[in-house]
Amino acid sequence: MNEELNLKQLIEWYITAGVEETAGEVPFAPPPAAEVKATPVRSMAAPRPSESGRQVTTALAQATIDAGKNARELCKTIDNLDELKALVEKFDGCSLKFTASNTVFGDGSQTARVVFIGEAPGADEDRIGRPFVGRSGQLLDKMLAAVGLDRSLCYITNVLPWRPPGNRTPTDSEIAVCLPFLKRQIDIINPDYLFVLGGSAANALLDQQESISRLRGRWLDYKNSAGKNIQVLASFHPAYLLRNPGQKAKVWVDLLRLAKKMSEDGAAGREE
């Protein structure tokens, strides 16, 4: 294996492990791939892959981490979805990008009154490059149609624009790096409602740790970067419903609550 490949793999392993800073030059070897866990780690000693590569490795790891922290700054300069999409596609600060086949940016109406937010693309989404097009997406489409919501009038996106390998749970640092992209999408679309699918996405967006069973079924608040309050409902993720069809009725109730509020508050779409 050449050294360049070694360094890239090492850095990807750091990011996968959630390392956010390096400290010193303590010898350290990454475990075999099968043992790599996605547990977030806040700080970890720097590795020594080889004498010549050591400083380069440390610098590259730190540069990658810093690039992630820059996402928020980069987003501030963007005020339309096409440019934001191009920015995300160019962004190299999240290692998930290197294992994904496609960047899965949000999709749907740019003037949507409601934004649906999932956790991360799955295998079908990664292959096709659009959010919620696999089995979970088909179930979501059916549920939206059942409460009279037209998917094409909604905007659908994820906390992460890249599929975590094997659909593993995203790490805290992957979420932290990518969250500005989601928040900027919300700022640009400026919806009145957010409907969050699953506990992981809800906790990421609302910055709390409540279980989805406790969060669902009541209106919550999210403030966009301009300070506007957006009403939020969180509910179970369609993938969870595919495994636990007995829970579908609860999501049905939550979607009905959303549809009712939208029709009480006004028309189902906004003019540009």
Instruction: Kindly list the residues in this chain that would bind ligand URA in the complex (CB under 6 A).
Output: 118-122, 125, 131-132, 134, 136-137, 158, 239
**Location of structure tokens 């403030």:** 223
**Smallest separation, CB 187 to ligand URA (Å):** 21
As measured in angstroms, the least distance from the Cβ of 179 to ligand URA is 15
Q: Are 159 and 198 in contact (CB under 8 A)?
A: no
Q: How far is the CB of 149 from ligand URA (least distance, A)?
A: 17
- Please, which residue, 204 or 239, has the CB nearer to ligand URA? 239
Cβ closer to ligand URA: 129 or 269?
129
Rounded-to-integer distance, Cα 157 and Cα 171, Å: 18
Q: Which is nearer to ligand URA, 124 or 192 (CB)?
A: 124
Q: How far is the CB of 236 from ligand URA (least distance, A)?
A: 12
Quick one: 239 or 262, whose CB is closer to ligand URA?
239
For residue 241, the minimal CB distance to ligand URA (Å) is: 11
Closest residue to ligand URA: CB criterion: 118
**CA separation (Å) from 113 to 171, 202, 231, 236?**
30, 19, 11, 21
Nearer to ligand URA, 43 or 152 (CB): 152
- Minimum CB–partner distance for residue 170 and ligand URA (Å): 10
Closer residue to ligand URA (CB): 169 or 263: 169
Q: Taking the complex as a whole, how short is the minimal distance between the CB of residue 206 and ligand URA, in angstroms? A: 16
Please identify, using beta-carbon distances, which residue of 20 and 126 lies nearer to ligand URA. Answer: 126
d(CA 176, CA 157): 16
Longest dimension (CA), the chain: 67
Q: What's the rounded Cα separation, in Å, for the pair 134 and 156?
A: 13
* Min CB(134)–ligand URA separation in Å: 6
> What's the Rg (C-alpha) of the chain?
20
Q: Which residue has the tokens 């009038």?
A: 153
Its sign, for the CA torsion 96, 123, 131, 159, is negative
Which pair of tokens denotes residue 203?
A: 């906790």
Between residues 93 and 134, which has the closer beta carbon with respect to ligand URA?
Answer: 134
Distance (Å, whole) CA 102 – CA 108: 18
